[in-house]
Chains A and B, each alone.
Chain A
């Protein structure tokens, strides 16, 4: 049987693979870190009583294949959300940094070229 997995590509990322590690707790819960109630409602004092259901266990007391799949997918979803959020932050910082550098450059040029005018007395 093939694996639960994902592959990400972007102009600056040739290939990034995502796999799951079935032994880690992160991939063995139906309650994902990135899929809880929205921050807004938590701040307003919401207690979460609407968590996803637990997985189903068979007669031998083991989680069914589909329950495991759901839990593994929940962990993978968290990984994807966290990775993409990180990428978004990096892009934002890069943009801010570029905007800052452009601003500093413009200020320096202004000083070098046109600053004399302001010393003129009227």
Chain B
């Protein structure tokens, strides 16, 4: 059993206020969250039932032209130039006049891109020193997990964390979020984003969203384009698939009629469209994710799945996962909407507040150095049994 009320809120209040700052990729998020002090948290295992109230969830995404990815230097510039304005907006929306009332400033310590992470931590440190408010460094993945748990109230699910930078199947065990299966090379979001660049489709609102819309427009759903299927034990690999679909796209654009998969050998007519490739790519990748998730579920004897991370917004992925869960002793899939599955500051505040309440505040600023690599299982999950 765990006591989440060991560290009382400021000024004898009956609630905690947490400010969360996120900037590990191209999304800059500032969130403010309120946790009431609840007697049921004195001695229990209820960190997924905080009755969290979201007072502000502000986000700005750095968008690049079609065909281009986001580079660290420019992404860091975006975060630097917007951070203060977004914090101001969040404070106004949350109606916080005296920022010194905030119990803790939570920031993404990692994993992610170095320069963007650093831009954000400079703001976090400055605010902490300015307002005399403690700091907590949060693992980005744990942020997604805790937000997912709080929103969906899922009881100990297997977590599938899928985004531009990460692809992991995670299960909780003895104070750690343990990685049961993961990508051996690139993340699924990265695979989809890079394919979107090859197709030169817009990056607004996100390349993955636009691939999803193209896939929905596929008129040949019964005729899947055959792609390599690369699940390897508990893990999966995606760089080979990416290389292959990129070559298909290249053949399509250059009208290479010798490619019999794309063009009828007799008539030389195009028989596969970009929409068909997008659809088949999703079906293939998502089937692989479903398989590694199911493996993890079998290992820990669970029938619940929680999908977090930007790719978790994908409706088709949710459908395919739900089907598998249902077939497995009537299980369930849980997912959050785009406010929370896409990177945001609120999730950092949520995980950060839990860490803070368990005594995890930073004692020296040397602990606030950001890190590109930060594995999910490095975090000691003190707030769970």
Contacts and interface: CB of A to CB of B under 8 A. Distances in A.
Contacts of A41: 64-65, 68, 71, 74
B65 A52 contact: no
B77 interface: yes
Interface in A13-63: 35, 37-38, 40-41, 44-46, 50-53
A60 B93 CA distance: 27
Contact of A44 (B67, B82, B85): B67
A1 B303 CA distance: 68
A46 B77 contact: no
Main secondary structure of the interface of A (DSSP, over half): loop
B74 A53 contact: no
A38 B81 contact: no
B71 A50 contact: no
A50 B77 contact: yes
Given A37-B74, A40-B71, A41-B74, A46 B64 contact: yes
A41 B82 CA distance: 19
Nearest to B77: A50
Given A41-B65, A45-B65, A52 B71 contact: no
A51 B85 CA distance: 12
A114 to B, nearest CB: 51
B384 interface: no
B198 to A, nearest CB: 15
B157 to A, nearest CB: 37
A37 B62 CA distance: 12
Interface residues of B, number: 15
Interface string B75-89: 001101110110000
Contact of A38 (B62, B73, B85): B73
Nearest to A36: B77
A45 B67 CA distance: 10
Contact of B77 (A37, A40, A45, A53): A37
A52 B83 CA distance: 10
Main secondary structure of the interface of B (DSSP, over half): helix
Contacts of A53: 81, 84-85
B81 A46 contact: no
Nearest to B84: A53
A40 B82 CA distance: 21
Given A35-B77, A38-B74, A50 B62 contact: yes
A62 to B, nearest CB: 20
Contacts of A51: 81
Contacts of A45: 65
Contacts of A35: 77
B243 to A, nearest CB: 23
Nearest to B73: A38
Interface string B222-238: 00000000000000000
A41 B85 CA distance: 24
B81 A52 contact: yes
Contact of A50 (B65, B73, B81, B84): B81
Contacts of A44: 64-65, 67-68
A50 B78 contact: yes
Contact of A46 (B65, B80, B84, B85): B65
A26 B71 CA distance: 28
Interface of B: 62, 64-65, 67-68, 71, 73-74, 77-78, 80-82, 84-85
Query: What 5 pairs across the A-B complex have the smallest Cβ distances?
Result: A45-B65, A50-B78, A44-B65, A52-B81, A44-B68
28 contacts: A35-B77, A37-B74, A37-B77, A38-B71, A38-B73, A38-B74, A40-B71, A41-B64, A41-B65, A41-B68, A41-B74, A44-B64, A44-B65, A44-B67, A44-B68, A45-B65, A46-B64, A46-B65, A46-B68, A50-B62, A50-B77, A50-B78, A50-B81, A51-B81, A52-B80, A53-B81, A53-B84, A53-B85
Interface of A: 35, 37-38, 40-41, 44-46, 50-53
Given A44-B65, A50-B62, 18 more contacts: A37-B74, A37-B77, A38-B73, A41-B64, A41-B68, A41-B71, A41-B74, A44-B64, A44-B68, A45-B65, A46-B65, A50-B77, A50-B78, A51-B81, A52-B81, A53-B81, A53-B84, A53-B85
